[in-house]
Structure 1
Amino acid sequence: MTTNPALADAVNAEYTDLTAFKARLETHRRYSRIPDDPEGAVRDALLLPNGLDLIDIGCGTGDFLHALAGRHTGRLVGIDTSPAAAVATTRTDQVEAIEASATQLPFPNGAFGAACARHMLYHVPDPHLALTEAHRVLRPGGLFAATVNHPAVAPRTQDFVRAIVQDAGITPAPAPINTVTSDNLPAMVEDVFGNARTVRFDNTLAIPGPEPLAAYACAMLSFAGVSPTHPDAEQIRDEVRTRAERWFRDNPGKTWDDPKGYALVAAERGTAAGS
């Protein structure tokens, strides 16, 4: 199973710089109708902090590992394919960060007692191989946790953005299709680890005003094919702000509601040889 090429290209462009990524994270943190803490869910699944050596596969901003530093007594390692944006922001005296692929982890068998893959498996060319690599670097009894989105996250805002891009005379990039979702990840983890425990988190974005809606929508523009350096990017951002203001003016007292959610899938590497 592989991700579609259009999504892979969008991801590569998006994570060269983490500005838009951080804006989306902030939107979900502030405006989820039900308090949303996917990092806390992963910590609970891995019993963190503890004394296990931990690898965070696809460490992103490094915030997950930084929050553990000083409390976690085991080794903290982050890997990511983005050297300038992710790895550079992750590495500290207490946190190791390495530029590497999830499908070829540069560690020996059984190097870690815990591993996580947070909201990243749908960005990997071969998710099954990434899970196999996570299993390989775990020692017997090691703990694994992964989070992935539901098949559709914030579809209303995605449609909002794509309509504005199209009205600007630009053919939007193909809508991203995640090939790893809360629907199929449990079976994938079960296939690799021989066990899987799944918890679903269903939620809604409830954005209260035009400024946060415009910020979130602008942070999605790359996925519609409009990068920050696109010659029409600023004009399109202005139109996003205009339409966001119009919607709230026409719908007084309402929030911009958009469905979202994710699943956490946890597993344990078996203690038998080869399991």
Structure 2
Amino acid sequence: MTTGPAAHQNAVTAEYMDLSPLQVRITTHRLYSECPDSPDVTVRDQLRLPSDADLLDVGCGTGQFLRDLDHDGHTGRLTGIDTSPEAIRQTTAGRVSALHASASNLPFAPEAFDIVTARHMLYHVPDPLHALQEARRVLRPNGVFAATVNHATTAPRTHDLVRAVIEDAGVTPSANSPVNAISSDTLPPLLRQVFGNVTTVRYDNALVFPQPEPLADFAVALLPFNGISATDPDHGRLAEEIRGRAVRWFSDHPGQVWRDPKGWALCSATAT
């Protein structure tokens, strides 16, 4: 297995050829968080987005964030970029446009946007510092950059379950993990380095699963983060083992829930 920026990007590309695992993770956090948890709503509320702001969403994913803004009457330009063709397809609708591009090479002129968002995607970027510099380049004076990023130890129990299944099966991951070391602890210093300022608001929470099925679905959706993509020949049997262990855990712990701490931060900076 090769390593380096190219291998990292290949892993990211493989992970998002199909957005189904991403949608499972999004749905899981929406339905099974101990406290209400909606990063998209939080970004909108905290930034008090002006309705006429030109906004770029880097790593637009399913496009729901931009489509919701359009649906709610946002009059400024709404643009998304992503390296996933499926993300581009899902995002493009109404007044929302989407381009195939990377955070490291934004295809826009300097000072093209009032707001740049990067929601739960900087941990997929080979060079996060360069991506922040690119975001700063395309922001107008007094423009705002906002990123959401997980705590370093989000959902450790479920990640441990996935790793244990892989190790016990004697499987060597066929790909690199598509995530880097960016977290709510490591991002703020980088933002301060690029922008000279940063505001960080942390949101601590937990996932709570009352039955095995949603736990298993979420755990299977984490396999790519351990180098096992949906096309990996071992994916099917590992997924089956994960589901079996989830069922056994609930059988062995009647009346209990699977609680897994998690959290994320909203980090923002102003282009002064």
Q: Compute the TM-score of the two structures, normalised by the length of structure 1.
A: 0.91
List aligned pairs for 1:156-195, cutoff 5 A: 156-172=157-173, 178-195=180-197
Work out whether 1:221 is the aligned partner of 2:223: yes
Cα distance, 1:6–1:52 mapped onto 2, change above 3 Å? same
Question: Which position in structure 2 is the counterpart of 1:149?
Answer: 150
3-state secondary structure, aligned to 1:125: coil
Q: How far off is 1:192 after superposition?
A: 1.1
In 1, Cα distance between the equivalents of 2:207 and 2:128? 28
Unaligned runs of 5+ in 2: none
Work out whether 1:52 is the aligned partner of 2:53: yes
Q: How far off is 1:158 after superposition?
A: 1.1
Give the residue type in structure 2 aligned to 1:247: W
Question: Which position in structure 1 is the counterpart of 2:261?
Answer: 259
Cα distance, 1:176–1:95 mapped onto 2, change above 3 Å? closer
Question: Which position in structure 2 is the counterpart of 1:210?
Answer: 212
In 2, Cα distance between the equivalents of 1:203 and 1:269? 30
In 1, Cα distance between the equivalents of 2:14 and 2:66? 24
- Check whether the contact 2:88–2:100 (CA below 8 A) recurs between aligned residues: yes
Post-superposition Cα deviations, 1:101-121, rounded to whole Å, max 9, x if no partner, equal 111111111111111111111
Give the residue type in structure 2 aligned to 1:35: P
Deviates most, 121-130 or 164-173 = 164-173
Question: Which position in structure 2 is the counterpart of 1:273?
Answer: none
Unaligned runs of 5+ in 1: 271-275
Q: How far off is 1:169 after superposition?
A: 2.5
Cα distance, 1:183–1:135 mapped onto 2, change above 3 Å? same
Question: Which position in structure 2 is the counterpart of 1:21?
Answer: 22
Question: Which position in structure 1 is the counterpart of 2:32?
Answer: 31
- Check whether the contact 2:110–2:139 (CA below 8 A) recurs between aligned residues: yes
List aligned pairs for 1:101-112, cutoff 5 A: 101-112=102-113
Question: Which position in structure 2 is the counterpart of 1:232?
Answer: 234
Deviates most, 46-55 or 115-124 = 46-55
Cα distance, 1:104–1:230 mapped onto 2, change above 3 Å? closer
- Check whether the contact 1:4–1:177 (CA below 8 A) recurs between aligned residues: no
Q: How far off is 1:75 after superposition?
A: 0.5
Question: Which position in structure 2 is the counterpart of 1:130?
Answer: 131
3-state secondary structure, aligned to 1:96: strand
In 2, Cα distance between the equivalents of 1:44 and 1:160? 35
In 1, Cα distance between the equivalents of 2:178 and 2:68? 31
Q: How far off is 1:49 after superposition?
A: 5.2
Post-superposition Cα deviations, 1:196-228, rounded to whole Å, max 9, x if no partner, equal 111001111111110001101111122223322
Deviates most, 105-114 or 178-187 = 178-187
Question: Once superposed, what is the RMSD of the aligned Cα atoms?
Answer: 2.0
In 2, Cα distance between the equivalents of 1:82 and 1:259? 30
Q: How far off is 1:257 after superposition?
A: 1.1
- Check whether the contact 1:46–1:114 (CA below 8 A) recurs between aligned residues: no
- Check whether the contact 1:49–1:73 (CA below 8 A) recurs between aligned residues: no
Deviates most, 164-173 or 109-118 = 164-173
Q: How far off is 1:231 after superposition?
A: 2.6
Cα distance, 1:44–1:157 mapped onto 2, change above 3 Å? same
In 1, Cα distance between the equivalents of 2:244 and 2:238? 10
Question: Which position in structure 2 is the counterpart of 1:241?
Answer: 243
3-state secondary structure, aligned to 2:21: helix
Cα distance, 1:160–1:61 mapped onto 2, change above 3 Å? same
- Check whether the contact 1:154–1:259 (CA below 8 A) recurs between aligned residues: yes
- Check whether the contact 1:116–1:144 (CA below 8 A) recurs between aligned residues: yes
Q: How far off is 1:174 after superposition?
A: 7.0
Work out whether 1:11 is the aligned partner of 2:12: yes
Question: Which position in structure 1 is the counterpart of 2:97?
Answer: 96
Give the residue type in structure 2 aligned to 1:210: P
In 1, Cα distance between the equivalents of 2:179 and 2:63? 26
In 1, Cα distance between the equivalents of 2:188 and 2:111? 23
Q: How far off is 1:82 after superposition?
A: 1.1
Give the residue type in structure 1 aligned to 2:159: Q
